Structure 1
């Protein structure tokens, strides 16, 4: 049993005492009642202690076996944080068809919008959120698609949102998308945000039926995501190789191959959208992805950030144009990076900080 597991019950008791102390303060009107709405958990209340215990566990495992340490890191890497829905989110999703798909003996929630019948069957778009995201994040884009008569399939991926599970890999998420394609496809396009774009690309390479691909602030390589996770967690880079080897053995794909080599396998037209001030996934990545595709367009914005790109009407309009333009991406275009951007030529490049541990995956 590891140190973190041994200490967790004690930390849980400490948080329980802390919460009861808050109740006393609220009862005697020494603190506002809003304080009791905050859910106290060891993972959030004792962040530094939890991090120190996990690093100590990793140090001990690394001294015993690199393989054991790599498996422990994979467990952390694949474990998601639960992010609850707000009441307004539930009210919005009430207007969708809410269905469940059983995948690996766990229920995955899928939200569908089917437009009213109007002659020809409506084209359907699959919206795939990123790591520790939720389908509701696509609400602005979903409204734009609905206004143009598109059908929408918007899942909460396994171990995310309302879906069951606490741990999942990107390879398993790709298999989930293939399952959704068998049930709801074929799709006229798949839209992936952040690591969801990488998952979409992997699913397309494995047989997901879709005519087009849209990548929003997506990373270029799964192996590099593992490297950034290790760097952000202040862990020795020597553990990257055994972690990747475990993935290759489990799924038959080496993480370093889920990148440029993967994009070259795809023959569908692709639209790559990225914000120049994205500090989670550097904007230069978009140009590297663009160079790997046989048919692709790249579209840059400024000042939106990693999540703001989901809410931009400018990006929504570009996506709608891409879906309706029959001739897009028919020629390979690799102009200089700045010529695709809406940023002035004299603009200063953004400064990037380290990838935070909480954002281990884009």
Structure 2
């Protein structure tokens, strides 16, 4: 636990002794607050200069969308928490060369979008907007929370021919437990936060802890899936990926790496190559998930 998280957790625990309500309100806001905003790196800035950008209102904020290529055969790039659309810079050249049109976004509270707080529902809403604009995606390449948001969007009617989930957060409860664990929150604060999430974030949803998971209702997602995860990922354990692979069975293939961590995996040439091979297999009429390994 870093010092800032330790101090924040101790403060929230202390406040809960006097006012559980105030501790719950503060914790709820922090949960929806990306603690840092990703800035484009050198390679990403060059990518931004070539992108066609647009803006869309999402949940009272302005998300930013990006498109490269002719617009034909769109491939969605779905970023994760504290990230931005251009985090997929190493995937874009290969997709363009193969004749695809990469489409990405900065969700509210991320990249060049507006807003300070956000949720996975805002991520899903951006994806749904892009699907309305571009139609069926040839593939969705997602990372971290972007994978969870993509699966939620697919279950809500967004269409794709293939799905790639890299460093995926498979269960919403994993986000909750990881957040509470990082701050070492007392049970009273956890209960206050859980109540607010159930009542405010998902007031019309039943059993969000099960339904908001990549493994829920697998029969509703019938496309081939490639799951890529690093065995030493300290942000999201590889067990999340293994659980998804087990639930989807022969429909999915799990590729594990070692030593790449949670974010650096997106820059690994072998991961990029395996992903592009998987995506381009669709245009060859291949329906089964191709073998891939490091």
Fold equivalence (TM over 0.5): yes
Q: 1:238–1:289: structure 2 CA closer, same or farther, 3 Å change rule?
A: farther
What is the CA deviation profile of residues 92-144 of structure 1, one whole-angstrom value per residue up to 9, with x for unaligned ones? Answer: 311111111122232211110123xxxxx831111011100011210001112
> How far apart, CA to CA, are the structure 1 residues paired with 2:276 and 2:5?
45
TM-score of the two chains, using structure 1 as the length reference: 0.71
- The equivalent residue for 1:288 is 243
What is the correspondence of 1:1-362 to structure 2 with a 5 Å cutoff? 52=7, 55-65=10-20, 67-80=21-34, 81-86=36-41, 89-115=44-70, 122-250=72-200, 251=202, 252=205, 254-257=207-210, 258-259=212-213, 260-263=215-218, 265-293=220-248, 295-325=251-281, 326-329=286-289, 342=294
Let me know the Cα RMSD of the aligned residues.
2.6
Q: Which string of whole-angstrom CA distances, capped at 9 and with x for unpartnered residues, describes residues 169-218 of structure 1? A: 11222122112211223211111101111111111112222222110011
Greater Rg over alpha carbons, structure? 1
Tell me the TM-score normalized by structure 2: 0.86
Change (3 A) 1:98 1:240: same
- 1:254 offset after TM fit, Å? 3.8
Report which structure shows greater RCO (CA 8 Å, sep ≥6): 2
Aligned equivalents of 2:3 and 2:270: distance in 1? 40
Query: Is the 1:223–1:244 contact (alpha carbons within 8 Å) kept by the matching residues of 2?
Result: no
Secondary structure at the aligned position of 2:30 is classed as helix
Q: 3-state DSSP class of the match of 2:46?
A: helix
Q: For 1:259-314, what per-residue CA distance to the aligned partner results, in whole angstroms no more than 9, with x for missing partners? A: 23254542222110112222222223211111122521111222222112111221
Which region of structure 1 is more displaced relative to structure 2, 313-322 or 249-258? 249-258
Cα deviation 1:210-248 (Å, max 9, x = unaligned): 222110011221112211111111111443344233323
Q: Deviations over 1:5-31 (max 9, x none)?
A: xxxxxxxxxxxxxxxxxxxxxxxxxxx
Q: Which runs of 5+ in 2 are unaligned?
A: none
